[in-house]
């Protein structure tokens, strides 16, 4: 185990030696600072834009569509209730007519049987 960790440390050191130091890259510290702050400001702007809910035209359109759908649903519910009431009224009329027709038919049958 100890041999493996020693060889890993040696590889890390060689890798670091192969890589140029920051001071060797040709950038001054002010250039590195400007680049770093630019990266941070872009990241911050991106995160802010993701966290803020945007009130654009499409979200307003969805709200308007939703409100319109609610209004139409209420109208349809009212029409459905009216239709149910009308159906109930027509059924009761049909029941009364069926009873009257049945009584008339029974009376006619009785009259034919008795011969009157």
Task: Tell me whether residue 56 is in a domain.
Answer: no
pLDDT value, residue 84 = 97
Query: What digits encode the pLDDT tens for the residues 34-68?
Result: 677 777 777 787 777 776 665 566 667 899 999 99
Task: Tell me whether residue 30 is in a domain.
Answer: no
Task: Tell me whether residue 45 is in a domain.
Answer: no
Give CA–CA dist 55/64, Å, rounded. Answer: 13
Residue 95 has pLDDT above 60, yes or no: yes
Lowest mean pLDDT: which of 21-25, 63-67, 109-113? 21-25
Task: Tell me whether residue 10 is in a domain.
Answer: no
Most confident of 18-22, 32-36, 80-84: 80-84
Position with higher pLDDT, 105 vs 85: 85
Task: Tell me whether residue 19 is in a domain.
Answer: no
Could you give the number of structural domains in the chain? 1
Identify the domain containing residue 103 by its residue range.
61-115
Of 29, 53, 51, 49, which is closest to residue 41 (Cα–Cα)? 49
Task: Tell me whether residue 48 is in a domain.
Answer: no
Give CA–CA dist 25/39, Å, rounded. Answer: 18
């Amino acid at each position: 185990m100890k041999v493996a960790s020693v060889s890993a440390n040696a590889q890390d050191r060689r890798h670091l030696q192969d890589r140029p130091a920051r001071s060797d890259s040709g950038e001054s510290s002010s250039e590195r600072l400007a680049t770093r702050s630019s990266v941070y400001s872009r990241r911050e702007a991106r995160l802010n834009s993701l966290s803020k809910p945007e009130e654009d035209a499409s979200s307003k359109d969805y709200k308007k569509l939703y409100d319109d759908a609610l209004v139409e649903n209420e109208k349809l519910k009212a029409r459905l209730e009216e239709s149910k009431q009308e159906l109930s009224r027509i059924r009761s009329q049909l029941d009364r007519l069926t009873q009257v027709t049945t009584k008339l038919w029974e009376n006619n049958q009785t009259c034919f049987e008795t011969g009157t």
